[in-house]
Structure 1
């Protein structure tokens, strides 16, 4: 509102106050126009153009991308935490809590990540122990 008033005052009084209006290129039309004197069809066109230009002016693609990435990261974090690390207080079946198979699989893979030996399954026979009776 105030920039419009200042701009209109500068255009009207450019001859009287020379230091306000210093642009050598004059605008073809005064913006924003007086919408009370414009035909509704032309007013709609101007509003549509103004909406499009303001969307382009206020578009923040980097900010939008960052917000989407933070949202996606928080959703993935909550899902992984809920499946792998959350203590599901199961009153009905404490032997088989939810996601038990996924947890055993994941911690079977990650249980010995920094160790020297490979991770073995529980149902594999132990090859290092002397089971054969041929030694005695």
Structure 2
């Protein structure tokens, strides 16, 4: 390792051998197979195999799973939001009859179907925690 480092530092830039740039014609490494193959010389089965291989490689190279999942999720949210807005809040006219959603529907959707409404704000769930602060009475039996 030390000898290689000493040899490389001894050469100057002018003394370094000039190599032509690496191109298709000056490449010293020859490929094992010619690509793309000559389809006129291949049988039908070999052509089909090459087409399948090429299609599979293109699909793998172009696959973007996170991007596709994000796009699908954005499409779903957009469609559900637009349909929900049309059903619950918009005033439309169908075949000459006007459709006006009732205020109760808009109010129930706006308060998440009544869970967070003003009337139910302080109601307690019977299955919930007991928030009673009164101390327990001792049992007379002991």
1:112-136 per-residue CA deviation (whole Å, 9 max, x = no partner) reads x7xxxx7128xxxxxxxxxxxxxxx
- Partner Cα distance (1:87, 1:107) in 2: 17
Residue 8 of structure 2 is matched in structure 1 by: none
Which runs of 5 or more structure 2 residues have no equivalent in the other structure? 1-19, 121-142
* Structure with greater helix share of residues: 1
Residue 77 of structure 1 is matched in structure 2 by: 81
* Structure with greater strand share of residues: 2
Residue 19 of structure 1 is matched in structure 2 by: 22
Supply the RMSD in Å over aligned alpha carbons: 3.5
C-alpha contact 2:39 2:47 (8 A) present in aligned 1:
yes
Following superposition, the deviation at residue 35 of structure 1 comes to 0.5
Following superposition, the deviation at residue 54 of structure 1 comes to 0.9
Residue 127 of structure 1 is matched in structure 2 by: none
TM-score norm. by structure 1 comes to 0.54
C-alpha contact 2:88 2:106 (8 A) present in aligned 1:
yes
- Partner Cα distance (2:44, 2:98) in 1: 69
Question: Which protein has the larger Cα radius of gyration, Structure 1 or Structure 2?
Answer: 2
C-alpha contact 1:109 1:119 (8 A) present in aligned 2:
no
Q: Which of 28, 31, 36 is the matching residue for 2:32?
A: 28
TM-score norm. by structure 2 comes to 0.52
Do the aligned partners of residues 23 and 84 (structure 1) sit closer, same or farther apart at CA in structure 2, a change above 3 Å counting? farther
Residue 44 of structure 2 is matched in structure 1 by: 40
Partner-residue secondary structure (3-state), 1:48: helix
1:38-64 per-residue CA deviation (whole Å, 9 max, x = no partner) reads 111111111111111111111122221
Do the aligned partners of residues 29 and 110 (structure 1) sit closer, same or farther apart at CA in structure 2, a change above 3 Å counting? same
- Partner Cα distance (2:102, 2:57) in 1: 51
- Partner Cα distance (1:83, 1:54) in 2: 43
Do the aligned partners of residues 31 and 104 (structure 1) sit closer, same or farther apart at CA in structure 2, a change above 3 Å counting? same
How many positions carry a matched residue from both structures? 98
